[in-house]
Amino acid sequence: MTDALLFPLPAEDDWRLLLKAAQRSTTPWRDRVILGLLWECAVRPDELVALRLSDLHLPTGRLHLPARVVRLPEDVLAPTMTYIALERPSRCPGLIAGPRGRSLRSADLSRLFLQLAQASGCEVSPWALHLAGLRRQLPRVLVAALARSTAERE
Number of domains in the chain: 1
Q: Which range of residues forms the domain containing residue 144? A: 2-153
Q: How many CB atoms are located within 10 Å of the residue 42 CB?
A: 21
pTM of the model: 0.84
Give pLDDT tens digits for 133-145.
888 777 665 555 5
CATH of the domain at 29: 1.10.443.10
Q: Which pLDDT value is given to residue 83? A: 97
pLDDT of the residue at 3: 45
**pLDDT at residue 71, as a whole number:** 94
Predicted confidence (pLDDT) per residue in 66-124, tens digit:
989 999 999 999 999 999 999 999 999 999 999 888 999 999 999 999 999 999 998 88
pLDDT digits (tens, 9 = 90+) for 28-61: 999 999 999 999 999 999 999 999 999 999 999 9
